[in-house]
Structure 1
Amino acid sequence: MLLRRLPILAWLPNYNFRSGLADLIAGVTVGLTVIPQAIAYAGVAGLPPQYGLYSSFMACFVYTALGSVKDSAVGPTAIAAILTRENLHGLGPEFAVLLAFLSGCVELLMGLLQLGFLIDFISGPVSVGFTSAAAIIIATTQIKDILGLSFPGGKFLQVWAGLYEHIGETRLWDATLGLGCLLLLLLLRKVKDIKVGVSEKGGGGRGRAALAQALWFLSTTRNILVVLVCAGLAYYFDTKNQTPFVLTGEVRAGLPRLALPPLSATVGNHTYTFTEMTSTLGSAIFVVPLLSILENIALAKVFSEGKYVDATQEMIALGVCNMAASLVDSMPVSGALSRGAVNHASGVATPAGGLYTGALVLLALQYFTPYFYYIPKASLAAVIIAAVVFMMELHVFKPIWRTKKVDIIPAVVTFAACLLLRLELGIVVGIAVNLLFLLYASARPAVRVTSALSSDGVPHVVASVDRALAFPSAEFVRRAVRKAADRDARAPLVLDASHVQAADFTAARGIKALIEDFHARGQTIIFYNVKPSIAEVFRGVRPREFLHCSCRAELDRLLLEAQRQDKQARA
């Protein structure tokens, strides 16, 4: 148990120089990726840029001790950022920090109570619809920065309405820089796939191997390289007293203070109490941690290489990460698939890679924040759009259509609701639609009716029910069986319960009523292959005569007896 809850105790005794070197390379590489992303994600969340950096180091340190997946790089993510923005209502960073703390509490509690099964209620189609809509919303919020525009509103329809109204105010230099950065980032993403000419014998020489490694590093660090070049360009223009680009502006230098999460906040002339703050955050206190867990476990499964993923431990680790990160003014954090891919490709050996990532972020906060002033907002917007464009899973709709067409409905409903309403409302609507489908399937089991002859030549009707009997389906099954009996009102009816795995009180009462119906019409009903536990449920309502059997010979005997009683009744 101790090794499961403190995974560091499992790998630390075997830690060696080679693992340390691999973690150092991977950690620094991820750090170079996370710094520009963190600044950009702060903008997505509607927070000052330093809060993105505040969110990028403490969770790395905590996950090193508690994390069970070496490839996971915990920090700010696009989905967590946009959910934070939608629930802050422009009230300030204190609400984001409290949201991180409360999210951590919920995640930790879910882990301790082993409530990971709740994630199972988010089906594949709902997840696809949510992720695709979130990616489009995030990209939409960055378009105005790409074009150098400034207007209020962060929702999908608001942004497009604002773009329509202000498109004439587009700044040429910002638009040129933003679109150029976006194109360059997409091209650099493909650089790592360039074949450098390996010989037929499999050996390409050290030069070619070094070139391949250099191309991979260029592709992996594309975000920081583009941002640095753009910042240098902006600095050059600044020395010439020119400001062609909208800049990030001042980023508070130094490390954040270590303090408890804010339990009150003053916005304007109003002071919000803890109760008012939690009421303002509303459903985000539960939706943000639930989706963060979903994102983190999905990442863990991608890089688990078929190994078992301890979902409980991941929830506990993520919960403690958020709680600890909130002590240094962090917004909600989770594992990011893009940074996890960088970690994996860099050959990370253990979760200790996060130590070097966090250390690099701390160095940036302490020494380099004055230089972040010159980063153009258009370049950060390009970084975000280039990252989230690959989150859109619209290509999945085609295989969903090929496999089960009805699953398109919850996917499309979730997608549309997330775009037109709010992300958390959209996913709730999608889950509700999915549950309605499940309830409908439960309420309408298939009842297959056939005519048969026993080994003694007794004609009878067989009605087979294909799933559990529960309260939504009780009346439907009763009507279907009565209709089946109308095929031949003189022949006994056999209700085959081979596929009935469960039954409840309402179903038992329906069966009792069904037996009464058959008794009133003078027709025999026999229950075949009823499981003992289900038979006990049926007996609990004390039916008039519950004929049941579990073998063919017994069924033939009961059918023969029913035929004899029918002849006696007619005589």
Structure 2
Amino acid sequence: MKFSFSGRYHGYNGKKFQKDLISGLIVGIVAIPLGMAFAIASGVKPEYGLYTTFVAGILISFLGGSKFQIGGPTGAFIPILFAIVMQYGYANLLIAGFMAGVILLFMGIFKLGGVINFIPRPVTIGFTTGIAVTIFTGQIANFLGLHNLQNHQDFLSNMKELILHLSKINMYSVLTAVICLVLIIVTPMLFSKIPGSLVGLLISTVVASIFYPDKIATIGSIYGPIPKSLPNLHLPSLSIEHIQSLIKPAFAIAILGGIESLLSAVVADGMSRSRHNSNRELIGQGIANMITPLFGGIPATGAIARTATNIKSGAESPFSGIIHGIVVLLVLLLFAPYASNIPLASMAPILIVVAWNMSERKEFAHVLKSKTAESFVLLITFLLTVFTDLITAVEVGLILSAIIFLKHMSSLLVITKIFPDFPKKNDQITVPAVNEEYNCPQISIYSVEGALFFGVANKFEKSIMEEINKQSKILILEMGRVPYLDITGESNLSNVVNQYRKHGGIVIISELQDQPRHMLKKTRLDEFIGYEHFFEKTGEAFNYALTKFSFPKSI
């Protein structure tokens, strides 16, 4: 993988740096409350979210494959990270994050960036909406000021826990959360350049600190003061036991991180008319996720909303993302003690709005209204994401999508027995269907249309093999509309050829496309059939077949 920076900074000058500086400042300010909120929702201390924001943010911008990508902790990771912290603990979360980085790195090195694009849209909409529901419901307790709730790994148990504590609602928390939520919604309407989440967070914190101090839970009262210093560097204690126990969550982090980062890069391409390098993006994401845990940071990926803000703010190069990370670092070093006074009720609306924005509710409703098999895949993926876990949801969603695809493709295979009108020249011939009055028992011609792969190859073989019982001596397969042939299809075709030969017959193939021809060459089936039995035109194949009989062409 070649890393060339000349294209990313071609024609870079002081004016462009000024634009990067402004956009970096804006995105950095936006990222601060989000970093803390995502960390808290993931079950770890808020400063770990800030560490992730500046370490991963700088590395992803510097090493990634998108010119405008902003990396950091995201809402999509919350359910996965929270489940890992609950089951394995924070220390093992860091190890899983490091392992996920290694997986992403190798995915990029082996050029698997395009593979993620093959995940069906109903699956991504389903699990994204499911994640949004999980985030939203997970913030109800902080919004209402409910504390000392026992955390569970499953959705229903958490909802039951919430209902049992509804009588303990703290109205000061509700008031604080409502103030923050209103400001988040209203601020962009009045001042489009000012981040609503920051305004809501600051004003609601000031109101709570002045009018009802000590009445609601804050970051400091729950998690302790945020240190205004850089975290210590420590290497993860990897062992065979760790790898075996954490490989599944590591893969979950890697796959989701890869999907999110590439989706964000695609959004950035559309907004900026640029083009990202998917494999390089995965390499950058991998390195960032390998280094971030060394500083105590949680897994990171491309953040769609912050990337969009970066572009809208006038970013010109990856420097804006690097500056955004430096801004977060400076704020941490200078203002960390003040962040301890932020109420948890002020953090909840930020995540609720994040959940609302990522829910893809319009796309969800659109797919459901189609009432197709994909609607079923969407619904199952969504429900499994909410009620089980993301890995199960994606696995089942992909399996269901594959089954639907195979069923659809199998229905597209059309095998028609034909008998040609004689052509004036050796070119394409008309092919009326066979009937009782219009047939040649010695020569069977079949038009095959559709991909010939493992899902339909048996159907193909069964249809053709019936001709052996009809004493047909020559089989012509017109395969001009077969775009793809896999090894199973090749095997079934080989069976047909073998059976025809056993009965003294000949198989002739016409109009074969490049991919099937290459497959037959690799397996040497073309040699077995005989090179003289391949023709560019079906008319040529038919005329050749006639030479094998003593009757005249006027039959």
TM-score of the pair, normalised by structure 2:
0.85
**Which residue matches 1:307?**
274
- Determine if contact 2:67/2:276 at 8 Å carries over to the other structure: no
1:230 corresponds to 2:204? yes
For 1:43 and 1:26, how far apart are their aligned partners in 2? Answer: 26
Please list, as runs of the form range in 1=range in 2, the aligned pairs for 1:120-159 lying within 5 A after superposition: 120-150=117-147, 151-152=149-150, 153=152, 155-159=154-158
User: Alignment partner for residue 362 of structure 2, among 387, 395, 399?
Assistant: 395
- 1:400-419 matches, cutoff 5 A: 400=367, 405-419=372-386
- Is 1:556 matched up with 2:542? yes
For 1:131-180, what per-residue CA distance to the aligned partner results, in whole angstroms no more than 9, with x for missing partners?
11111111111111111123122542222222222222222222233244
Question: Partner residue of 1:467?
Answer: 450
Aligned to 1:364: 331
Question: Relative to 1, partners in 2 of residues 1:552 and 1:439: Cα closer, same or farther, differing over 3 Å?
Answer: closer
Within-5 A mapping of 1:222-301: 222-237=196-211, 242-249=213-220, 250-263=224-237, 274-301=239-266
Question: d(CA) in 2 for partners of 1:363 and 1:545?
Answer: 73
Given candidates 97, 100, 121, the residue that maps to 1:100 is 97
Question: Offset at 1:419?
Answer: 1.3
Assess, with a 3 A threshold, how the Cα gap between structure 1 residues 60 and 539 changes in structure 2: closer, same or farther. closer
459, 477, 499: which one aligns with 1:476: 459
Unaligned ranges ≥5, structure 2: 424-431, 433-437
The one-character-per-residue Cα deviations of 1:105-150 (angstroms, maximum 9, x if unpaired) are 2222222222223313422221111111111111111111111123
Alpha-carbon displacement from aligned partner over 1:177-208 (angstroms, at most 9, x marks no partner): 3244334423334x06xxxxxxxxxxxxxxxx
CA–CA separation in structure 2 for the residues paired with 1:454 and 1:518: 25
Q: 1:34 to 1:526 in 2, by over 3 A?
A: same
Q: Distance in 2 between matches of 1:489 and 1:173?
A: 89
- Partners of 1:468 and 1:502 in 2: CA distance: 5
For 2:35, give the aligned amino acid: A
Contact 1:465–1:499 (CA under 8 A) maintained in structure 2: yes
Question: Over residues 268-322 of structure 1, what are the superposed CA-to-partner deviations in whole Å (9 max), with x where a residue is unaligned?
Answer: xxxxx74444344331212212221221121122122443321121112112222
Task: Determine whether 1:514 maps to 2:496.
Answer: yes
Distance 1:447 1:502 in 2: 14
Structure 2 counterpart SS, 1:389: helix
In structure 2, the partner of 1:332 is: 299
Whole-Å separation in 2 of the counterparts to 1:539 and 1:373: 73
Q: CA deviation at 1:492?
A: 6.7
1:88 and 1:281 in contact (8 A); partners too: no
CA contact (8 A) 2:413 2:456 kept: no
Partner of 2:3: 5
1:425 Cα shift? 2.0
1:205 alignment partner in structure 2: none
Q: Tell me if structure 1 keeps the 8 A contact 2:66–2:275.
A: no
The 1-side partners of 2:325 and 2:146 are apart by 33
Tell me the equivalent position of 2:166.
Answer: 167
**1:318 paired residue among 273, 278, 285:** 285
CA distance in 2, matches of 1:491, 1:187: 80
Secondary structure class of the residue paired with 1:527: strand
Structure 1 distance, partners of 2:421, 2:473, is 12
The letter of the residue matching 1:539 is L
1:89 aligns with 2:86: yes
Contact preservation (8 Å) 1:411, 1:430 = yes
Assess if the C-alpha contact under 8 Å between 2:416 and 2:448 holds in 1: no
Residue correspondences, number = 526
Find 1:342's aligned residue among 292, 309, 312.
Answer: 309
1:204 is matched with: none
Letter in 1 for 2:201: V
Q: 2:113 aligns with which of 107, 112, 116?
A: 116
> How far is the alpha carbon of 1:358 from its aligned partner?
2.1
User: 74, 77, 98: which one pairs with 1:77?
Assistant: 74
The answer to whether the Cα contact below 8 Å between 2:156 and 2:387 also exists between their aligned partners in 1 is yes
Q: Are the counterparts in 2 of residues 104 and 323 from structure 1 also a CA contact under 8 Å? A: yes
Name the SS of the counterpart of 2:340 in structure 1.
helix
Matched AA of 1:359: I
TM, length-normalised to structure 1: 0.82
Is residue 2:504 matched to residue 1:527?
no
Aligned 8 A contact 1:444 1:476 in 2: no
Residue pair 1:60, 1:354 contacting (<8 A) in 2 also:
yes
Structure 2 residue aligned with 1:375, among 332, 342, 348?
342
Which amino acid counterpart does residue 372 of structure 1 have in structure 2?
A
What amino acid maps onto 1:295 in structure 2? Answer: E
Q: For residue 480 of structure 2, what is the aligned residue in structure 1?
A: 498
| Residues 457 and 488, structure 2, Cα contact 8 Å, conserved in 1 | yes
Q: Select between 60-69 and 523-532 the one with higher mean Cα deviation.
A: 523-532
Q: Distance in 2 between matches of 1:534 and 1:561?
A: 29
Look up the equivalent residue of 1:216 and give its one-letter code: S
**Shift, 1:549, TM fit:** 2.9
SS at match of 2:477: strand
Q: CA deviation at 1:523?
A: 8.1
CA contact (8 A) 1:146 1:175 kept: yes
Distance in 1 between residues matched to 2:389 and 2:256, nearest whole Å: 14
In structure 2, relative to structure 1, the CA distance for the partners of 1:550 and 1:535 (3 Å cut) is farther
- Kindly tell me: are residues 170 and 401 of structure 1, through their superposed partners in 2, closer, same or farther at Cα, counting changes over 3 Å? closer
Q: Report sequence identity in percent.
A: 24
Shift of residue 424 of structure 1? 2.0
Residue 503 of structure 1, CA deviation: 3.7
Tell me how far 1:85 sits from its aligned partner.
1.3
SS in 2 for 1:5: coil
Q: In 2 relative to 1, CA 435–552 (structure 1 residues): closer, same or farther, beyond 3 Å?
A: closer
Contact 1:443 1:472 (8 Å CA) reproduced: yes
In structure 1, how many angstroms separate the alpha carbons of the residues matched to 2:390 and 2:552?
Answer: 64
